Amino acid sequence: MPDVTAAPSRSEEQTQQLLEQIAFGFAYLPRSPVLHSPAERDLEFEDVTFPATDGVPLEGWFIPAPGSSRLVIANHPMGFTRSGLPTHLEPWQSIWAPSGNGAEIDFVPDYAVLHEAGYNVLAYDLRNHGLSGTGNGGINSSGIFEARDVAGSIAYARSRPDTRDMSIGLFSRCLGASSTFAAATQFPDVFDEVKCLVGVQPVTARTIFGKRLGGLGLADRIDEFEQRVVRHTGIGFADRAPREWARNVTVPTYLYQVRDDVLTEPEDVQTIFDNLPVADKQLHWIEGTKARWDGYLEFQRRPQSVLDWFDGHL
């Protein structure tokens, strides 16, 4: 991603090329590799595969916690995999470091924390990410089609003899959170199987791209940019609607977000939170940083509030 803090001079032709580059990269997310393994934390695990509700094959890990009847299903952010994102390597370093998000994200420590706390863990790659299959022509739908993966992961947990009777909580980050809200909208009966949700930094597409284009001096080109996204995917910003999908969430929900995240606005997450119709909900702001990546690292740094949420509901 280009530097969100600078607005260099460029010709109209260069501007058109830049808008197209960003739109194409959003429509067809480059796959990042699964670089880490639970074995790095001495965790026993099983490589698993299961279908989304429309049959797209999904790849993941099941990390058992013997004697436990509680399961956390982890859904990752946009462009990531179940193992995180190698932002310290190219091309991801050049894409993300200019916005202050140059640190590697390794999610395996999260699974180790959950396992130590007594939770079984199912972590998997969403469609068009990591090692999972390609669906819908490979396009990113901001949760519309990825909701089928969330629903598929819950159905898979209910199909295994060793997990079918477990209490299920969802740990859903960014695209994973939006996909979870979309799943609650499209597959409400599936959520009869879910006890609670932790949502990490959900974001609205128009908001994040308004910030990105604003930092490039192109705030007035947001509608043109959206049309480029529509030409690639057939899906406009209004249909990529986690704020509206949140109205259909029926389980206790804990959200957290870097308040001063340079890639979004606090009002976006606040609106999502306000739209949650459940009485049992909390919103936690992470202070003292502008890096979105600090939100993704928050759990492994300070896990207690999330563990308390899961402990109180599973």
Task: List pLDDT tens digits, range 257-295.
Answer: 999 999 999 999 999 999 999 999 999 999 999 999 999
pLDDT on residue 2? 41
pLDDT higher than 80, residue 113 = yes
Position 63 scores a pLDDT of 99
pLDDT tens-digit series, residues 182-205 = 999 999 999 998 999 999 999 999
The arithmetic mean of pLDDT across residues 122-143, rounded, is: 98
Is this model's pTM higher than 0.85 or not? yes
Tokens in use for 274?
């306000």
In one letter, which amino acid is 282?
A: Q
CB atoms within 10 A of CB 189: 7
Question: What's the pLDDT band for 212 if we cut at 50, 70, 90?
Answer: confident
Mean pLDDT on 21-46: 96
Alpha-carbon distance of 311 to 147, in angstroms, equals 25
What average pLDDT does the chain have?
95
- Cα–Cα distances in Å, from 49 out to 46, 104, 272? 10, 26, 32
Q: In the numeric block, which tokens belong to residue 48?
A: 């698993």
* pLDDT higher than threshold 50 for residue 127: yes
Q: What is the mean pLDDT of residues 231-245?
A: 97
> Among residues 229, 193, 195, 181, which one has the least CA distance to residue 209?
229
pLDDT value of position 8:
61
Res. 6 pLDDT band, cuts 50 70 90 = very low
Amino acid 3: pLDDT:
43
The mean per-residue pLDDT over the stretch 63-73 comes to: 98
Q: Residue 95 — very low, low, confident or very high, per pLDDT cuts 50/70/90?
A: confident
Question: How much of the chain exceeds pLDDT 70, in percent?
Answer: 97
- In this prediction, residue 99 has a pLDDT band, given cuts at 50, 70 and 90, of confident
Buried b (16+ CB within 10 A) or exposed e, 260-298: bbbbbbeebbebbbebbeeeebebeebeebebbbbbbbb
CA distances from 264 to 38, 200, 271, 292 (A): 31, 13, 13, 9
